[in-house]
Amino acid sequence: MVFMAGGSTESRTRDRVRRAVGERGPVTARQLASDLGLTAAAVRRHLDALAADGLITEGDGGPRPGRRGRGRPARSYVLTEKGQDQLGTSYDDVANAALRFLAAQAGPGSVEHFAEEHVAALEERLHGTVEQAGPEVAARAEALAEALSQEGFAASTRTVGEGTGLTGIQLCQGHCPVRSVATEFRQFCDAETEAISRLLGVHVQRLATLAGGEHVCTTFVPTGSLSGAPGTTTRMHTPESVGTSDRAPDPTTEGRSAR
Protein backbone atom coordinates (compact mmCIF):
# COMPACT_ATOMS: atom_id res chain seq x y z
CA MET A 1 0.00 0.00 0.00
CA VAL A 2 1.15 3.49 -0.79
CA PHE A 3 -0.71 5.19 2.01
CA MET A 4 -0.46 3.85 5.53
CA ALA A 5 -2.82 4.58 8.41
CA GLY A 6 0.12 5.45 10.61
CA GLY A 7 1.65 7.90 8.14
CA SER A 8 1.66 11.71 8.09
CA THR A 9 -1.48 13.85 8.18
CA GLU A 10 -0.87 14.70 4.53
CA SER A 11 -0.75 11.03 3.47
CA ARG A 12 -3.82 10.15 5.54
CA THR A 13 -5.80 12.97 3.96
CA ARG A 14 -4.68 11.90 0.50
CA ASP A 15 -5.83 8.38 1.31
CA ARG A 16 -9.25 9.76 2.30
CA VAL A 17 -9.49 11.58 -1.01
CA ARG A 18 -8.49 8.44 -2.91
CA ARG A 19 -11.08 6.34 -1.12
CA ALA A 20 -13.76 8.96 -1.67
CA VAL A 21 -13.03 8.95 -5.41
CA GLY A 22 -13.40 5.17 -5.36
CA GLU A 23 -16.71 5.31 -3.50
CA ARG A 24 -18.29 8.29 -5.26
CA GLY A 25 -16.61 8.49 -8.66
CA PRO A 26 -17.06 10.05 -11.07
CA VAL A 27 -16.86 12.93 -8.63
CA THR A 28 -15.65 16.53 -8.86
CA ALA A 29 -13.16 18.35 -6.69
CA ARG A 30 -15.94 20.59 -5.41
CA GLN A 31 -18.03 17.61 -4.33
CA LEU A 32 -15.06 16.00 -2.63
CA ALA A 33 -14.26 19.21 -0.76
CA SER A 34 -17.84 19.40 0.48
CA ASP A 35 -18.08 15.73 1.44
CA LEU A 36 -14.72 15.59 3.20
CA GLY A 37 -14.76 19.01 4.83
CA LEU A 38 -11.64 20.17 3.00
CA THR A 39 -10.84 23.28 1.02
CA ALA A 40 -11.11 23.06 -2.75
CA ALA A 41 -7.43 23.97 -3.05
CA ALA A 42 -6.40 21.11 -0.74
CA VAL A 43 -8.52 18.61 -2.65
CA ARG A 44 -7.07 19.70 -6.00
CA ARG A 45 -3.55 19.34 -4.61
CA HIS A 46 -4.28 15.76 -3.55
CA LEU A 47 -6.03 14.99 -6.83
CA ASP A 48 -3.00 16.21 -8.77
CA ALA A 49 -0.72 13.97 -6.67
CA LEU A 50 -3.01 10.96 -7.08
CA ALA A 51 -3.16 11.51 -10.83
CA ALA A 52 0.64 11.78 -10.98
CA ASP A 53 0.87 8.41 -9.17
CA GLY A 54 -1.50 6.86 -11.71
CA LEU A 55 -4.20 6.18 -9.11
CA ILE A 56 -6.98 8.37 -10.56
CA THR A 57 -7.94 9.73 -13.95
CA GLU A 58 -10.60 12.01 -15.38
CA GLY A 59 -13.87 10.14 -15.71
CA ASP A 60 -15.48 9.74 -19.08
CA GLY A 61 -19.04 8.71 -19.68
CA GLY A 62 -21.70 8.59 -17.00
CA PRO A 63 -23.21 11.60 -15.23
CA ARG A 64 -21.36 14.88 -14.91
CA PRO A 65 -23.02 16.45 -11.87
CA GLY A 66 -20.65 19.37 -11.45
CA ARG A 67 -21.71 21.61 -14.37
CA ARG A 68 -20.77 25.26 -14.16
CA GLY A 69 -23.82 26.96 -15.58
CA ARG A 70 -23.78 26.92 -19.37
CA GLY A 71 -20.06 26.40 -19.54
CA ARG A 72 -17.92 23.37 -19.66
CA PRO A 73 -18.74 20.70 -17.02
CA ALA A 74 -16.38 20.46 -14.07
CA ARG A 75 -13.79 17.71 -14.32
CA SER A 76 -14.78 14.54 -12.51
CA TYR A 77 -12.49 11.76 -11.38
CA VAL A 78 -12.51 7.98 -11.09
CA LEU A 79 -9.98 5.45 -9.90
CA THR A 80 -7.65 3.77 -12.36
CA GLU A 81 -7.12 0.00 -12.23
CA LYS A 82 -4.04 0.63 -10.10
CA GLY A 83 -6.13 2.73 -7.72
CA GLN A 84 -8.78 0.02 -7.53
CA ASP A 85 -6.13 -2.53 -6.56
CA GLN A 86 -5.25 -0.43 -3.53
CA LEU A 87 -8.76 -0.65 -2.09
CA GLY A 88 -8.17 -4.20 -0.90
CA THR A 89 -9.17 -3.44 2.68
CA SER A 90 -12.83 -3.10 1.62
CA TYR A 91 -12.70 -6.73 0.51
CA ASP A 92 -11.28 -7.66 3.91
CA ASP A 93 -14.54 -6.46 5.47
CA VAL A 94 -16.54 -8.57 3.04
CA ALA A 95 -14.35 -11.62 3.71
CA ASN A 96 -14.75 -11.26 7.48
CA ALA A 97 -18.51 -10.86 7.13
CA ALA A 98 -18.70 -13.93 4.90
CA LEU A 99 -16.73 -16.03 7.39
CA ARG A 100 -18.92 -14.87 10.28
CA PHE A 101 -21.96 -15.90 8.26
CA LEU A 102 -20.37 -19.26 7.46
CA ALA A 103 -19.61 -19.88 11.14
CA ALA A 104 -23.16 -18.92 12.16
CA GLN A 105 -24.78 -21.12 9.52
CA ALA A 106 -22.49 -24.15 9.53
CA GLY A 107 -20.62 -23.92 12.82
CA PRO A 108 -17.07 -22.84 13.75
CA GLY A 109 -15.62 -26.01 12.23
CA SER A 110 -16.60 -24.79 8.80
CA VAL A 111 -14.25 -21.81 9.10
CA GLU A 112 -11.42 -24.12 10.11
CA HIS A 113 -12.11 -26.33 7.10
CA PHE A 114 -12.18 -23.30 4.80
CA ALA A 115 -8.87 -22.04 6.22
CA GLU A 116 -7.30 -25.45 5.71
CA GLU A 117 -8.49 -25.56 2.10
CA HIS A 118 -7.20 -22.04 1.47
CA VAL A 119 -3.76 -22.81 2.90
CA ALA A 120 -3.67 -26.18 1.13
CA ALA A 121 -3.72 -24.36 -2.20
CA LEU A 122 -0.74 -22.27 -1.10
CA GLU A 123 1.06 -25.37 0.17
CA GLU A 124 0.60 -27.07 -3.19
CA ARG A 125 2.16 -24.10 -4.98
CA LEU A 126 5.16 -24.11 -2.62
CA HIS A 127 5.72 -27.86 -2.48
CA GLY A 128 7.75 -28.25 -5.67
CA THR A 129 10.20 -25.48 -4.79
CA VAL A 130 10.82 -26.87 -1.30
CA GLU A 131 11.27 -30.42 -2.58
CA GLN A 132 13.93 -29.27 -5.04
CA ALA A 133 16.00 -28.02 -2.08
CA GLY A 134 16.67 -31.57 -0.92
CA PRO A 135 16.23 -33.28 2.46
CA GLU A 136 18.14 -30.88 4.73
CA VAL A 137 15.86 -28.77 6.91
CA ALA A 138 17.90 -25.57 6.62
CA ALA A 139 17.99 -25.69 2.84
CA ARG A 140 14.27 -26.43 2.72
CA ALA A 141 13.54 -23.52 5.09
CA GLU A 142 15.51 -21.14 2.91
CA ALA A 143 13.75 -22.39 -0.21
CA LEU A 144 10.42 -21.99 1.56
CA ALA A 145 11.26 -18.41 2.52
CA GLU A 146 12.09 -17.57 -1.07
CA ALA A 147 8.88 -19.20 -2.31
CA LEU A 148 6.79 -17.41 0.32
CA SER A 149 8.32 -14.09 -0.72
CA GLN A 150 7.17 -14.79 -4.28
CA GLU A 151 3.68 -15.17 -2.82
CA GLY A 152 3.87 -11.78 -1.10
CA PHE A 153 4.88 -12.83 2.43
CA ALA A 154 8.26 -10.98 2.50
CA ALA A 155 9.89 -13.99 4.15
CA SER A 156 13.45 -14.51 5.37
CA THR A 157 15.44 -16.92 7.57
CA ARG A 158 18.19 -16.71 10.17
CA THR A 159 20.02 -19.14 12.43
CA VAL A 160 19.27 -18.98 16.16
CA GLY A 161 20.26 -20.84 19.31
CA GLU A 162 23.71 -21.94 18.16
CA GLY A 163 25.58 -23.73 20.95
CA THR A 164 22.36 -24.57 22.80
CA GLY A 165 19.95 -27.47 22.75
CA LEU A 166 17.50 -25.41 20.71
CA THR A 167 19.53 -24.80 17.57
CA GLY A 168 17.26 -23.84 14.75
CA ILE A 169 16.06 -21.31 12.22
CA GLN A 170 13.65 -18.46 12.53
CA LEU A 171 11.37 -18.27 9.52
CA CYS A 172 10.11 -14.69 9.48
CA GLN A 173 7.29 -13.26 7.39
CA GLY A 174 7.12 -9.48 7.21
CA HIS A 175 3.79 -9.37 5.43
CA CYS A 176 0.57 -11.39 5.61
CA PRO A 177 -1.85 -11.16 2.67
CA VAL A 178 -4.75 -12.26 4.90
CA ARG A 179 -3.82 -10.39 8.07
CA SER A 180 -7.20 -8.72 8.50
CA VAL A 181 -9.04 -12.02 8.22
CA ALA A 182 -6.54 -13.91 10.37
CA THR A 183 -6.80 -11.30 13.13
CA GLU A 184 -10.38 -12.43 13.74
CA PHE A 185 -10.10 -16.00 12.52
CA ARG A 186 -6.89 -17.48 13.90
CA GLN A 187 -7.66 -20.73 12.09
CA PHE A 188 -5.73 -19.28 9.16
CA CYS A 189 -2.58 -18.90 11.29
CA ASP A 190 -2.98 -22.43 12.64
CA ALA A 191 -3.47 -23.90 9.17
CA GLU A 192 -0.42 -22.03 7.86
CA THR A 193 1.74 -23.28 10.73
CA GLU A 194 0.71 -26.86 10.03
CA ALA A 195 1.49 -26.41 6.34
CA ILE A 196 4.98 -25.10 7.16
CA SER A 197 5.56 -28.14 9.35
CA ARG A 198 4.51 -30.51 6.58
CA LEU A 199 6.62 -28.74 3.97
CA LEU A 200 9.75 -28.82 6.13
CA GLY A 201 9.17 -32.27 7.58
CA VAL A 202 9.66 -31.18 11.20
CA HIS A 203 7.47 -29.98 14.04
CA VAL A 204 7.64 -26.16 14.05
CA GLN A 205 6.50 -23.60 16.63
CA ARG A 206 4.79 -20.32 15.79
CA LEU A 207 6.18 -17.68 18.16
CA ALA A 208 4.53 -14.51 16.92
CA THR A 209 2.09 -13.36 14.25
CA LEU A 210 1.16 -10.15 12.50
CA ALA A 211 -2.46 -11.06 13.18
CA GLY A 212 -1.60 -11.14 16.89
CA GLY A 213 -0.26 -7.59 16.78
CA GLU A 214 3.44 -8.32 16.30
CA HIS A 215 5.57 -6.67 13.62
CA VAL A 216 6.45 -9.97 11.97
CA CYS A 217 5.24 -13.57 11.86
CA THR A 218 7.96 -15.74 13.41
CA THR A 219 8.17 -19.53 13.26
CA PHE A 220 10.87 -21.55 14.99
CA VAL A 221 12.19 -24.44 12.89
CA PRO A 222 14.37 -26.88 14.90
CA THR A 223 17.53 -28.13 13.21
CA GLY A 224 19.39 -29.47 16.25
CA SER A 225 18.52 -32.21 18.70
CA LEU A 226 14.79 -31.57 18.39
CA SER A 227 14.67 -31.89 14.59
CA GLY A 228 15.03 -35.66 14.34
CA ALA A 229 17.62 -38.29 15.08
CA PRO A 230 20.43 -37.29 17.47
CA GLY A 231 23.55 -36.12 15.72
CA THR A 232 21.73 -34.88 12.60
CA THR A 233 23.60 -31.96 11.05
CA THR A 234 22.27 -29.26 8.77
CA ARG A 235 23.94 -26.73 6.50
CA MET A 236 22.65 -23.19 6.78
CA HIS A 237 22.84 -20.69 3.94
CA THR A 238 22.46 -17.20 5.41
CA PRO A 239 20.60 -14.75 3.12
CA GLU A 240 22.35 -11.48 2.36
CA SER A 241 19.42 -9.61 3.88
CA VAL A 242 17.14 -10.91 6.58
CA GLY A 243 14.70 -8.00 6.25
CA THR A 244 12.37 -7.77 9.21
CA SER A 245 13.76 -10.79 11.00
CA ASP A 246 15.91 -8.56 13.23
CA ARG A 247 12.72 -7.70 15.08
CA ALA A 248 11.73 -11.30 15.66
CA PRO A 249 11.57 -12.73 19.17
CA ASP A 250 14.33 -15.00 20.43
CA PRO A 251 13.03 -18.59 20.48
CA THR A 252 15.65 -19.51 23.10
CA THR A 253 13.88 -17.31 25.66
CA GLU A 254 12.45 -19.71 28.18
CA GLY A 255 8.70 -19.71 28.61
CA ARG A 256 7.75 -18.22 25.22
CA SER A 257 4.61 -19.64 23.72
CA ALA A 258 3.02 -19.37 20.30
CA ARG A 259 0.76 -16.45 19.84
Is the overall model pTM greater than 0.75, yes or no? no
Distance from C-alpha of 259 to C-alpha of 218, rounded to nearest angstrom: 10
Is 70 exceeded by the pLDDT of residue 143?
A: yes
pLDDT digits (tens, 9 = 90+) for 43-82: 999 999 999 999 899 875 444 444 444 555 678 898 887 7
Is 60 exceeded by the pLDDT of residue 5?
A: no
In a domain, 23, yes or no: yes
Q: Tell which of 34, 55, 86 closes a domain.
A: 86
The whole domain housing 105 covers 89-247
CA distances from 31 to 24, 53, 92 (A): 9, 22, 27
CA distances from 84 to 18, 33, 47, 54, 190 (A): 10, 21, 15, 11, 31
The average pLDDT across 241-247 equals 36
- Same domain, yes or no, for 146 and 81? no
Higher pLDDT, 221 or 155: 221
- Same domain, yes or no, for 130 and 176? yes
pLDDT digits (tens, 9 = 90+) for 77-119: 988 877 766 665 556 788 999 999 999 999 989 999 999 999 9
Q: Which domain CATH number covers 73?
A: 1.10.10.10
pLDDT digits (tens, 9 = 90+) for 157-209: 999 988 887 899 999 998 888 888 999 999 999 999 999 999 999 999 999 99
In a domain, 257, yes or no: no
Q: Which domain CATH number covers 204?
A: 3.30.1380
- Same domain, yes or no, for 65 and 121? no
Provide the domain count of the chain. Answer: 2
CA 205 to chain centroid: 20
